Structure 1
Amino acid sequence: MPVSTARCPQCPVTPRGDGPALFISDLHLSPALPRTVQVFEDFLRGPAREASILFILGDLFEYWVGDDMLGADMPVSGRDAPAASTTSASATTTEPLGAFARRMTAALAGLAASGVPIAVMRGNRDFLLGERFARAAGAVMLDDPCVFSFLGQALVLSHGDQLCTDDVGYQRFRRVAHSPLGKAFFLALPLRVRMALADRIRRRSAARGAHRMAYADANQHAIHALLDATGERTLVHGHTHRPARHADGRRVRWVLPDWEFDVTPPRGGYLQWDARGLRAVDLAPSTSGLPAADATDTDTDTSDG
């Protein structure tokens, strides 16, 4: 099923000041990944404080099975780390689930309190992020996709999973899971049951990963359909964990990196948009797959002609 382009609203958040707009995604935060969590907290206290707005384009958390996680006290064991991170040096953690969720939310709220607007898009792992989370984090939830206008130009923003249309099985699951009925049914289950189901789905997905690599990337027809429908020329998304800058004529697609600092080599970074254009910033130099930090894209003009 192609990405829905019937309604592609403008981003409802207004940047502040003249700092850059920053874009991150696919951090997959978990208490079992302490180094990744530490880099994220340092990022919020460092580069993000100079931003005019911070965009989190999905999969901030390894999973989020409902905003009632914020009040949970169940421990989360090291087995909840991403199954693909087999080289992780992280030690097993028993930090309660609710405590970790509250700690990450408080870190975001600290950035928001400093005056930096935060815009959060749901991903395939945390599509159940809701308004309770948004209020606690001082964030605004975004539609997927949406258009962000800045410096007289515009970008289309998406998590990216809707663009992977070759994975028919996942798109079928997504339609059911993201439907109002599907979400209501899942959220009616006890929290422990939801956590167990999420972990089972994640592990099954990881086990199938080697056989699905050819289907994991965004479909070119879906990309062009989205840009055609919006009339824009530049797309920023995550999800695929294949960071790159793709140029096709006058159209440009930036793919954000996933963050994983508990493996060797570590990887992670963000996209920065300022008066010089778009540029990738690598938080783990020479390891994330991103273009060099000084790689810029100044042609984000989406006007005709």
Structure 2
Amino acid sequence: MILLISDLHLEEERPDITRAFLNFLTGRARSAQALYILGDFFEAWIGDDAMTPYQRSICDALRALSDGGTDVFLMHGNRDFLLGRAFCKAAGCTLLKDPSVVDFYGEPVLLMHGDSLCTRDEAYMRLRRYLRNPVTLWVLRHLPVSTRHTLARKLRSESRAQTRMKANDIVDVTPEEVPRIMTQFGVHTLIHGHTHRPAIHKLQIGEQAAKRIVLGDWDRQGWVLQVDEQGMQLTPFDFQLTLPAATHP
């Protein structure tokens, strides 16, 4: 069994999400072969060298899961793209490139955070290219911690304000980008997060049936995609439940 989650946006100000995640790690995730976290794991991350005691506790919880035999994979999101090797080493997890093709029970599957699919949001795409530039990343990581805190607060505030003003189709994935990227990587299944619009979309790429699975964000409830030999099951669960039951959509 393989589990995939994304968009937890963990922060100290949301203890309900934190408790649900820690319960998830000590419950359902312990029986999984692997756990994939596809970005925006933290609401903000300003560098491995600036890890808070709260973030350290999350790191330690991931390490305990990894030490228990579950492989943990982590992908950058637009909120935590400064997560680095030091955190992954301490947490016992592997940092995945975005995008990455993985093998799930003999099927190649494309994993992404999903923000790079939103190509109609031209302002965001320009900002993304700037922030992910290796030179920019080097500069950001070497700024004083206080300056990084200020920049992170500014970016989060501007992002929320701009998202509220944009049309829904602008902040969702570009429909034409989905088959293009799937064809490029030679897959018929794409799994991503970012949009906070959980669903399983049936597609047709050429003569082949395909699907795009959108993971849900953790806010009023959690979302988990379970992959096993029987298929893929995307299900929500209440934060009070540590072992959400998987049902077919």
Structure 1 CA distance for aligned equivalents of residues 37 and 6 of structure 2: 5
Structure 2 CA distance for aligned equivalents of residues 108 and 283 of structure 1: 20
Q: Which of 46, 50, 61 is 2:42 aligned to?
A: 61
- Indicate whether 1:175 and 2:129 are aligned: yes
- Residue 23 (structure 1) aligns with: 4
- Indicate whether 1:255 and 2:209 are aligned: no
TM-score (norm 1): 0.76
- Indicate whether 1:52 and 2:11 are aligned: no
Q: Which amino acid aligns with 2:36?
A: F
Q: What is the CA distance between 1:22 and its match in structure 2?
A: 0.4
- Would you say the 8 A contact 2:226–2:246 is kept in 1? no
Count of paired positions: 239
Q: Which amino acid aligns with 1:59?
A: D
Q: Which deviations, in whole Å up to 9, do the C-alpha atoms of 1:137-172 show, x marking residues without a partner? A: 000000110111021112100000000000001110
Q: 1:191-202, aligned counterparts within 5 Å?
A: 191-202=145-156
- Indicate whether 1:151 and 2:105 are aligned: yes
Q: Which of 225, 228, 249 is 1:274 aligned to?
A: 228
Q: Considering fraction of residues, name the structure with more strand.
A: 2
Q: Which deviations, in whole Å up to 9, do the C-alpha atoms of 1:9-45 show, x marking residues without a partner? A: xxxxxxxxxxx11000000000000000000000000
Q: What is the CA distance between 1:293 and its match in structure 2?
A: 4.3
**4+ runs of 1 displaced by more than 6 Å?**
none
- Residue 295 (structure 1) aligns with: 248
Structure 2 CA distance for aligned equivalents of residues 270 and 228 of structure 1: 26
Q: What is the CA distance between 1:115 and its match in structure 2?
A: 0.7
- Residue 121 (structure 1) aligns with: 75
Structure 2 CA distance for aligned equivalents of residues 214 and 162 of structure 1: 14
- Residue 218 (structure 1) aligns with: 173
- Indicate whether 1:229 and 2:187 are aligned: no
For 1:220, what is the secondary structure of its paired residue? coil
- Would you say the 8 A contact 1:269–1:284 is kept in 2? no
Q: Which structure 2 segments of 5+ residues have no match?
A: 240-244
TM-score (norm 2): 0.93
Q: What is the CA distance between 1:216 and its match in structure 2?
A: 1.0
Q: What is the CA distance between 1:284 and its match in structure 2?
A: 2.5
Structure 2 CA distance for aligned equivalents of residues 251 and 236 of structure 1: 11
Q: Which amino acid aligns with 1:236?
A: I
Q: Which deviations, in whole Å up to 9, do the C-alpha atoms of 1:67-119 show, x marking residues without a partner? A: 1122xxxxxxxxxxxxxxxxxxxxxxxxxxx1011001001001001010000
Structure 2 CA distance for aligned equivalents of residues 252 and 24 of structure 1: 17
Structure 2 CA distance for aligned equivalents of residues 295 and 216 of structure 1: 28
Structure 2 CA distance for aligned equivalents of residues 69 and 224 of structure 1: 39
Q: 1:234-249, aligned counterparts within 5 Å?
A: 234-249=189-204
Q: Which amino acid aligns with 2:31?
A: E
Q: What is the CA distance between 1:178 and its match in structure 2?
A: 0.4
For 2:201, what is the secondary structure of its paired residue? strand
For 2:3, what is the secondary structure of its paired residue? strand
Q: What is the CA distance between 1:281 and its match in structure 2?
A: 2.3
For 1:135, what is the secondary structure of its paired residue? helix
Structure 1 CA distance for aligned equivalents of residues 142 and 214 of structure 2: 35
Q: Which deviations, in whole Å up to 9, do the C-alpha atoms of 1:40-62 show, x marking residues without a partner? A: 00000011001010000000000
Q: Considering fraction of residues, name the structure with more helix.
A: 2
Q: Please, what is the CA RMSD of the aligned residues?
A: 1.3
Structure 2 CA distance for aligned equivalents of residues 185 and 34 of structure 1: 32
Structure 2 CA distance for aligned equivalents of residues 158 and 193 of structure 1: 30
For 2:116, what is the secondary structure of its paired residue? helix
- Residue 35 (structure 1) aligns with: 16
Structure 2 CA distance for aligned equivalents of residues 257 and 192 of structure 1: 32
Q: Which deviations, in whole Å up to 9, do the C-alpha atoms of 1:210-242 show, x marking residues without a partner? A: 222331111112111111111110000000001
Report the identity percentage: 40
